Amino acid sequence: MPARYISRLRLSAFRNYTSAALDLDGRHLVLTGPNGAGKTNLLEAVSLLSPGRGLRRAAFDTLGNQASDQPWAVAATIETPDGPVDIGTGTSADESGRRVRINGANAKTIEEMSEYLRLLWLTPSMDGLFTGPAGDRRRFLDRLVTTLIPSHAATVSDYEKAMRQRNRLLEEDADPLWLNALEAEMAAHAAALHFARADSIAHLQARIAESLDDNAFPAAQLALTPLFDDRHVPASSSALETELKALWASTRHLDRAARRTIGGPHRVDFEVFYAQKNMPAALGSTGEQKALLVGLILAHARLVKARTGIAPFLLLDEIAAHLDPDRRAALFLALDALDTQCLMTGTDPMLFEALGPRAQRVTVRDGRLERDRQ
């Protein structure tokens, strides 16, 4: 039994669920059923018990059940070493925004949920992560960082908001003093964002190095592309802020013409190499890329557990795709070693046979949950 697990899950007016309830005992949970039944919707609901917009990054006002006039809500009871904690999130009746309640009281910040649980996930949309646009890899990295540093999501949001304001001011040919002030705000957020990414990558790389002899999943070599053309790295946050302010002040005419900010941490790429083959992950086979991504998530889960004391819950959507039987068995053993609860989905129950009695099984049909005999 893991030290921390979801014992109760309740959904109301969420996606294709009018209502749903699950009582769990700490084992892994396997959700099977046809495409479109609601398996991923349930994982998405759980993913909202963390900072950010969940595994689909959907706007909160789009999550409600279209057949219901009630606001959507997700509630869970988390069993912790200090006793159970009730966490709920959802929208108000007027959909004025997302709210969080912990043990019946309104939370002051979204990040308060992270005191009790951390979440990581893999979805089929990530299968093209290494070959897709750099923006997808940055968002993936920022999700990893947020699992370690819950305030990171707010830092990214604040930076992007300030950057959009700067872009508007450039179009309006605003007073340079306004731009100076806004660029100083951007630089403060950018420095925090950059060093959180760099520090997290360094710690994650050290975790990966510990498992280089593990042949089950390929190891990743990680890097960020440089912020500046000459590839130098400022040694401190204040030095980075100074250089970014100078960069943005000197490129205002270029940014005005481009109608966007062309330099900064929003333009870097998260580079991933297949360490054992010394090649970019993008050049690997589909199966190799999937295995590399799984190995990366497992290493990060170990890192989060070591640094925060909280083993993250894993949400693995259609995880068996592109994994051969040996790697599926290796994955299940790795999940057991994490001492955490994992929620997995798939269309074929046979793919999860190797879990045996280590998992509860639920069939999903049209937004209804049916517990399998086990």
Spatial distance between the Cα atoms of 345 and 320, rounded to a whole number of angstroms:
8
Spatial distance between the Cα atoms of 22 and 15, rounded to a whole number of angstroms:
16
| Residue 181: both structure tokens together | 């002030």
Which is it for the CA torsion 297, 303, 307, 309, positive or negative?
positive
Query: What SS3 class is residue 153?
Result: helix
Spatial distance between the Cα atoms of 300 and 294, rounded to a whole number of angstroms:
10
Question: What is the structure's pLDDT at 345?
Answer: 97
Question: What is the structure's pLDDT at 374?
Answer: 58
| Residue 77: both structure tokens together | 């009871």
Question: What is the structure's pLDDT at 230?
Answer: 83
Query: Tell me, what amino acid is at 158?
Result: D
pTM of the entire structure? 0.94
Cα torsion through 278, 284, 290, 293, rounded to 10:
30
Spatial distance between the Cα atoms of 361 and 374, rounded to a whole number of angstroms:
8
Question: What is the structure's pLDDT at 95?
Answer: 60
Question: What is the structure's pLDDT at 105?
Answer: 97
pLDDT digits over 84-141, tens only? Answer: 999 999 987 666 678 999 999 999 999 999 999 999 999 999 999 999 999 999 999 9
Helices (H) and strands (E) in the chain, counts: 8, 15
Beta bridge partners of 28: 359
131-307: what CATH class?
Answer: mainly alpha
Could you say which architecture CATH assigns to the domain 1-118+310-374? 3-Layer(aba) Sandwich (3.40)
- Where are any strands of DSSP class E within 201-303? 220-224, 270-274, 279-280
Query: What SS3 class is residue 313?
Result: strand
Spatial distance between the Cα atoms of 219 and 66, rounded to a whole number of angstroms:
43
What strand order describes the sheet that includes 279-280? Answer: 220-224, 270-274, 279-280
Q: Which residues of the chain have pLDDT under 70?
A: 93-96, 212-214, 373-374
Q: Are 48 and 59 in contact (CB under 8 A)?
A: no
Domain ranges within the chain, ordered by starting residue:
1-118+310-374, 131-307
